[in-house]
Amino acid sequence: MFLEQFTKESGQQGWIEVICGSMFSGKTEELIRRLRRADFAKQSILLFKPFIDDRYATEAVVSHQGQSWEAKRIAASIDILHIWSGQQIVAIDEAQFFDKDIVQVCMELANKGARVIIAGLDMDYKGLPFGPMPQLMAVAEYVSKVHAVCVQCGKLAQFSHRTVSQTEQVLVGAVEKYQPLCRGCYQKAHS
């Protein structure tokens, strides 16, 4: 389980947590759940989202189920360091859309004592590692992989199957463009 408190003996201790998985696996819901627990404990929180993600709201992170939390929308990961003013919790949603500098930004925040919570897709629609997520998982103290349910067979799903013909890697969308599939159903869809 997660060490979700700061030790009093040595002051605030920082670390990095990554929540990853396919679309519709509950990544954002888990991120918001962790933020609610920290908020209940009166810890200071700062949440970021990439500028490209405007699906449900521009100034909030919103899960597919409608849960939301106020967020700062930024264009580059370095903006996080310019906005951060010592908050105990720094959370980042849709981390796969950020530039490669997000890894160094997260490490710097953790080194300065922040608890950094990151949520993002671990694989793109082709089933390949997505953006900076592999590096973020490598430097994190804690990694949680969450799964959706395959819409074809009901097994655990770890693939984000694209249902539209666009082929660019980044295509922001929800149920109108993607569906979660297990390995077997994903392979069938791509054969």
**Under 8 Å between Cβ of 80 and 109:** yes
| CA nearest to 32, candidates 13, 20, 47 | 47
Catalytic residue ranges? 94
Cβ density class 111-138: b for 16+ within 10 Å, e for less: eeebbbbbbbbbbbbebeebbbbebbbe
For 77, half-sphere exposure in the C-beta direction (CA atoms, 13 angstrom radius) is: 23
